[in-house]
Amino acid sequence: MSTVEMTADHDHHDHKPTGITRWLFTTNHKDIGTMYLLFSLLMLFIGGAFAMIIRLELFQPGLQFLDPIHFNQITTMHGLIMVFGAVMPGMVGFANWMIPMMIGAPDMALPRMNNWSFWLLPVAFSIMMMTPFMDGGGPAFGWTFYAPLSTTFAPKSTDFFIFSVHIMGISSIMGAINVVVTIMNLRAPGMTYMKMPLFVWTWFITAFLLIAVMPVLASVVTMMLTDRNFGTSFFEASGGGDPVMFQHIFWFFGHPEVYIMILPSFGLASAVIPTFARKKLFGYSSMVYATGSIAGLSFLVWMHHMFTTGMPLFSELFFMYATMIIAVPTGVKIFNWVATMWQGSMTFETPMLFAIAFVILFTVGGLSGVMMAMAPLDSQYHDTYFIVAHFHYVLFPGAVFGGFAGAYYWLPKWTGHMYSEGLGKTHFWLSMIFVNMTFFPMHFSGLAGMPRRIPDYSQQFADFNMWSSLGAFGLGLTQLLFVFLLIKTIRGGKAAPAKPWDGADTLEWTVPSPAPYHTFSTPPKID
Amino acid sequence: MTLVKKLSLACMTLLAFLSSQAVLATDQFNLTQGATKTSHEVYDLHMLVVKVCISIAVVVFGTMFLSMFLHRKSKHPVPAKFSHSTLVEIIWTTIPFLILVGLAIPATQTLIHIEDNSKSDVDILITGYQWKWQYKYLAEDISFFSSLSTPQSQINGEEEKGEHYLLEVDKPLVIPVGKKVRFLVTSKDVIHSWFVPAFAVKQDAVPGFINEAWTLVDKPGIYRGQCAELCGKDHGFMPIVVEVKSAAEYDAWISEQKIAMEEAKAAAAAAAASSWSKEDLMAKGKEVYDGKCAACHMPNGEGNGPFPALAGSKVANGLAEEHINVVLYGRNNTMPAWKGVITDAEIAAVITYERNSWSNKAGDVIQPAQVAAMSNQQ
Amino acid sequence: MSLENEKTLKQKNRKILFRLVVVAVGMIGFSFALVPLYNVFCSVTGINGKTGGQTTASASMQEDDSRDISIEFIAMNGKEGELEFRPRNNRMELHPGKIYSTEFYVKNLTNKAVVLQAVPSISPGSVALMLHKTECFCFTQQPLAAGEEKWMPVHFFLDSEFPKDIQKMTLQYTLYDITGKGEFGKVVSN
């Protein structure tokens, strides 16, 4: 393309295409980012609706609404949709919108692949969500689908579930490749790696994790597929296989996967807190190294999900020590955020409220994680509600609150309007109260011995379950407030300046709000 | 203090008192100390970690709240300029590392104790089934199934829930107090997990493989646990009950079991040989159906989801041999095999009941001898 | 952007894209390689309770009668009602370094021929490799005609290096019906 043609193209593109074809064929990172974010919000509500059904059944002892098979199906779908449909695409949405602007690039490096990455998702999830209506019912083996419950003993729809996982995996791998190529090749001149905002770093590292482990997930579901249909015996004891091998391969993917879900939120917190503390992020290079260490260590800890499978002593000791060690770089990050706040000059707009709550409540989840790392204690915690409490703390007030922090932070940039601070704060405080009401009691029911994935429970767990269910209903309803606020802000509101937050200093704040369709067609000068 | 503040304080105190009465009376907030030396060791380690975690949380959150108070813009308008300190990074890397080492040492010791399965006095083979446990005493020739005994009517809310709702079984595991009991855990079908919090024992039951665990209980009593690995439909309905008896009572129980097994064999043989009246078959059949079949096929025989309706079904209205075959040997990895799990007489009764209930009018009556005949050859 | 710059950028993008795709494909290969790696690791350390393959006893093997180790035999019937499966001995007292024999009884209760596969598992896992089998019905598939019954032998010895702190072990065989699955099923080497 000649220089002349390029300029002409830019003139054309000042007018955005319209209609459904705009969205179907777009290669624009902002459009694609928007689609990912809206898709993930929709999935958050669908997964959330399933959670409401679960909590409705668990409100009181006894089976009132669901029979156990449907309960297991809904629990499974809740997990799959939240992990693969809400958290992961949500973070990719942030990556798409913000990484090019933060590094001064005009778009992602591979814009057409970017489009495919997104559109594979509705296809994958349509297939996934058809499975409950198939003969024999949908997947009912938990989002961790252990063999042989998920192979020999699973319904026909499992093959479609596997197909859907393959499609999602391809989408994730393509998206991750795009992120790596973009960050490596498209940084504006002068933006060295150690000058990139931390959010870009955390996504850079997350992308490598995705490329490394999504293929492992693809392989393990392929092995399931051949075990089910082509007579292999990877996980079938009768053919010389080993069901525990499934857990090894799954968790080799699964543990890095949970860091894939949280590292971008670490980046979001690292974007928001310095802005509202009006102080640079403390210990930038430590933060980068800590993130890298967490990612590297995440490959060495998978067997802590398997302490009760009959491991030999030396394995239990190794994985206990390795898992405990991950607490060190994670702690470093937390201390660095606190040090950023310390002696800053803080105001507490909604993004900052969510970011601070993220740090506090993620820490709660992280501390219960240290407890679980200790193998002799895990014999009491494993597969009880203590684990459920742990991962919901790191995922909801962890990853999702990080997402809300980022969303409120960049809503003015995306929409050109200031959101209503009153509504935002209301959304925050109600979420804060209800998220704790929902998940904190689960620590207690877990310690009291209540197992996971059961539709009915004995009476000593009743009080805790009641509080969890009430909290969950409140939490679910509160999110509707966010949707209302989102629609309101998109449609109108006080005009947002290029830089609504006086403490912000990254490149996206140098372009107008809303951000023009094309930004940084000419790279900015970095000093 | 203003009146408003006084009233608020009074209300909060009252609320705290009331809720503590309501909640603390019945709820268990902490891990159990349990009934074994191991469970006490685990509890002590747990308390150590809890205290460490709470201390860390107090320090970190305290610093954050203090900062939010002291360094808010209205009170601290000029932010400091510092943004790194290698010394501080080293300090807050080293101190957590040392704390972790401090936790790892007792954890290692406890783990080594837990993994020492040697020198057991009693060995028991535990097999997980969908959805019950089988216990086999390896030194004696005693084996039996242990299934949930809470009636469906309590689960459905038709009856009030009993004291040990969902944590009661028809035949508990019995072990002697003060003796080391070694458990060999495996599974018949999918992965289950045998979990008794009071013993701090949780061991996965993996099909085709055998795992070991052990316990040595200090006090006689009844201890309850649950399956701790999702194993299908009734994962939440296959509890564990362990009765720990004094050595003398245990020995007596063993002898009783052996006698009872002989008697049961004889009774089953007699029942199988004799001819039952239709009323007796229907009555027994209903008892068996309600206790063992209704959970999947529903009390009204209408079926549910993947579990077919028996009312109006081809099997229940067709050839008796086919019906007996399905009940004896199961099908599709979903319908379990009942041969050897319930007696031939019970199978004959429940089949008779199914064939003559709801809309089914097969009219025929199945005698235990027919079942026995099919049970010895397929 | 100038024409040359754009061309170089495209090339640079393609280069990284290609390398990352290679990594992704490589990770698929790695995942499948985990399967034999896992089996090798387990057979070398014995940690999942799987025993080694057929061994021959050395002529110079010495019986160590200074210690007694008791072994329990468990017969796990994978097809209750269609097969009968039980050990001849529930328990044996052993000395390391001496060859012992026992048998397992199996009967096909159906009126169709079957092919069976026994899968062994040893507890504790740390001694799985200390049990050497010179002959075992678990090495091969076992065909049984309708109604046929037979006694299947196991000849084995315990390694002289058997750990001093273990006095009890368990050998469980799970018997599976693999009629019709033989062709594609993985070869069982133990």
- The predicted model gives A289-315 an average pLDDT of 95
B258 contacts chain C (CB < 8 A) = no
Tell me: pLDDT of A316 over 60: yes
* CA distance linking residue A287 with residue B84, whole number of Å: 11
pLDDT at C186: 43
- Contacts B186 to C, Cβ<8 Å: 76, 121, 172, 174
Over 80: is that where the pLDDT of A293 sits? Answer: yes
Task: Tell me the nearest-neighbour CA distance from B339 into chain A, angstroms.
Answer: 20
Active site residue A321: no
CATH class of B29-114: mainly alpha
Answer for the pair C92, C68: CB distance below 8 angstroms, yes or no. no
Residue A214 with chain C: CB contacts under 8 Å: 24
Of B125, B210, B328, the CB nearest to C121: B210
SS (H, E, C) A310-349: CCCHHHHHHHHHHHHHHHHHHHHHHHHHHHHHCCCCECCC
Exposure string over B114-131, b if 16+ CB within 10 A, otherwise e: bbebeebebbbbbbbbbb
Range in B27-41, B261-275, C45-59 the model is least confident about: C45-59
* Contacts for B347 with CB less than 8 Å, ≥ 6 apart: B324, B327, B328, B338, B339, B368, B371
| Residue in C111, C119, C168 to test binding to B, most B beta-carbons within 10 Å | C168
Is residue A65 less than 8 Å (CB to CB) from chain B?
A: no
Q: Determine, for residues C185 and A211 on separate chains, whether the beta-carbon distance falls below 8 Å.
A: no
B63: its two tokens: 């610093």
Q: Answer yes or no: are the C-beta atoms of A471 and A438 closer than 8 Å.
A: yes
Q: Is there a cis peptide before residue A148, judged by omega within 30 degrees of 0?
A: yes
Residue by residue, DSSP assigns B238-284 as: --EEEEEE-HHHHHHHHHHHHHHHHHHHHHHHHHHHSPPPHHHHHHH
Catalytic pick from A75, A172, A363, A468? A172
**Paired residues of C83 in beta bridges:** C80, C108
User: What residues of B are in contact with residue C123 (Cβ under 8 Å)?
Assistant: 184, 210-212
Q: pLDDT > 90: what percent of chain A?
A: 93
Lowest-confidence pick of A11-15, A380-384, C33-37: A11-15
Cβ neighbourhood burial of B378 (10 Å; 0-12, 13-18, 19+): middle
Cα B243 to its chain centre, rounded Å, is: 15
Name the residue of chain B whose CA is nearest to C173's CA. Answer: B208
Residue A270 annotated in active site: yes
**Closest residue to B111, CB basis, from A286, A317, A331:** A317
Average pLDDT in the C27-31 region?
94
Q: Flag whether residue C17 sits within 8 Å of chain B, measured between CB atoms.
A: no
* 8-state DSSP, A239: G
d(CA B114, CA B108): 10
CA C141 to CA C154: how far, in whole Å?
A: 14
Mean pLDDT of A74-96: 97
Mean pLDDT of A457-461: 94
- The model's pLDDT over C109-142, given as tens digits with 9 standing for 90+, comes to 888 899 999 999 998 888 888 899 999 998 888 9
Domain boundaries, chain B: 29-114, 122-257, 274-376
Cβ neighbours of B209 in C, within 8 Å? 48-49, 121
What mean pLDDT is reported for chain A? 94
C80 chain-B contacts, CB cut-off 8 A: 337, 339-340
Amino acid A239 reads G
pLDDT above 50 for B61: yes
Residue A505 has pLDDT above 80, yes or no: yes
CA-based nearest distance A118→chain B, Å: 33
Which pairing describes strands B240-245 and C83-87: parallel, antiparallel, or unpaired? unpaired
Note the pLDDT tens digit of each residue in B5-36. 666 666 666 655 555 444 444 578 999 999 99
What's the token pair of residue B214? Answer: 């052990």
Q: Could you tell me how many CB contacts below 8 A there are between chain A and chain C? A: 115
| CATH number for the segment(s) B122-257 | 2.60.40.420
- Residue B292's alpha-carbon distances to B198, B295, B343, B371, in angstroms, are 29, 7, 13, 18
**β-bridge partners, B224:** B241
How far apart, in whole angstroms, are the C-alpha atoms of residue C19 and residue C163?
A: 49
* Chain C environment of A239 (Cβ under 8 Å): 117, 178, 181, 185-186, 188
pLDDT tens per residue across span B80-106: 999 999 999 999 999 999 999 999 999
Which chains have 3 or more CB–CB distances shorter than 8 Å to chain C? Answer: A, B
Which residues does A contribute to its contact with C (CB < 8 Å)?
A: 1-3, 6, 109-110, 173, 176-177, 180-181, 184-186, 211-216, 218-220, 223, 230-234, 237-242, 244-245, 248-249, 252, 310-312, 315
The dotted CATH code for C69-177 is: 2.60.370.10
pLDDT on residue C42: 80
Which of A334, A375, A447 lies at the smallest CB-CB distance from B107? A375
The minimum CA-CA distance between A523 and chain B, rounded to whole Å, is 28
Which chain A residue lies closest to C176 (C-alpha atoms)? A238
Q: In this structure, how many other beta carbons lie within 10 angstroms of the beta carbon of residue A281? A: 22
Contacts of B165 in chain A (CB under 8 A): 61, 458-459
CATH architecture of B274-376: Orthogonal Bundle (1.10)
d(CA C3, CA C46): 62
- Mind telling me how many Å the CA of C61 is from chain B's nearest CA? 27
- Rounded to an integer, the average pLDDT of A195-201 is 97
A–B interface: beta-carbon pairs under 8 A: 291
Whether B27 and chain A come into contact, CB under 8 Å, resolves to: yes
As a 3-state breakdown, chain C gives helix, strand, coil percent values, each rounded to 5, of: 25, 35, 40
State residue A51's pLDDT score.
98
Q: Select from A144, A345, A436 the residue whose CB has the most chain B CBs within 10 Å, as the one to mutate to test that interface.
A: A345
- The pLDDT-based confidence of A264 (bands split at 50, 70, 90) is very high
Give the whole-angstrom CA distance, residue A455 versus residue A68: 6
| pLDDT at site A3 | 40
- Cβ <8 Å between B329 and C49: no
Query: Which domains does chain A carry?
Result: 28-510 (1.20.210.10)
The C-alpha torsion from B289 through B295 and B296 to B301, rounded to 10°, is 50
Give the whole-angstrom CA distance, residue A363 versus residue A366: 5
- What average pLDDT does this structure show over A5-17? 48
Would you say residue A69 has pLDDT above 80? yes
CB-CB contact of A307 with A252 (8 Å): no
pLDDT number for residue B21:
45
Q: Determine contact: C81 vs chain B, CB below 8 A.
A: yes
What is the average pLDDT across A206-222?
Answer: 97
Report DSSP letters for A71-83, one per residue: HHHHHHHHHHIII
Strands, sheet with B211-216, edge to edge from the N-terminal-most edge strand: B142-146, B132-137, B122-129, B180-187, B211-216
* Subunit contact C49:A239, Cβ cutoff 8 A: no
- Per-residue pLDDT of A236-258, as tens digits, reads 888 888 999 999 999 999 999 99
Residue pLDDT, tens place only, A333-383? 999 999 999 999 999 999 999 999 999 999 999 999 999 999 999 999 999
Residue B282 has pLDDT above 60, yes or no: yes
Query: What is the structure's pLDDT at B13?
Result: 62
**Residue of A479, A481, A448, A482 lying closest to A465 (CA atoms):** A448
Compute the nearest-CA separation of A342 from chain C (Å): 41
pLDDT in tens, B205-238: 999 999 999 999 999 999 999 999 999 999 999 9
Question: Which backbone phi and psi does A89 adopt, to 5 degrees?
Answer: -60, -35
Out of A186, A219, A310, closest to residue C32 by CB? A219
Q: Find the distance separating the first CA and the last CA of chain A, reported in whole Å.
A: 30
B306 touches chain A (CB under 8 A): yes
Q: pLDDT tens for residues C167-180? A: 899 999 999 988 87
**Contact between C168 and B120 using a beta-carbon 8 Å cutoff:** yes
Q: Worst-scoring range by mean pLDDT, A11-20, A417-426, A510-519, B334-343? A: A11-20
A456 touches chain B (CB under 8 A): yes
Residue C151 in contact with residue C104, Cβ under 8 Å? yes
What's the gap in Å between the CA of C60 and the closest CA on chain B? 30
State how beta strands B180-187 and B173-176 pair: unpaired
Among candidate residues A29, A30, A279, A305, the one labeled active-site is A305
Active-site hit among A40, A158, A171, A206: A171
**Torsion region of C169: left, alpha or beta (phi above 0 gives left; psi -120 to 50 gives alpha):** beta
Nearest to B30 among A278, A348, A447 (CB): A447
Give pLDDT, residue B229: 97
Supply φ then ψ for residue B274, to 5 degrees: -80, 170
pLDDT at C6: 73
ipTM: 0.93
pLDDT of residue B306: 75
Torsion sign, CA atoms A299, A301, A306, A309: positive
Is A316 noted as a catalytic residue in this protein?
no
Distance from CA of C121 to the nearest CA of B (A): 5
Residue ranges of the alpha helices (H) in A280-312?
284-297
Torsion (CA) A348, A349, A351, A354 in degrees, nearest 10: 50
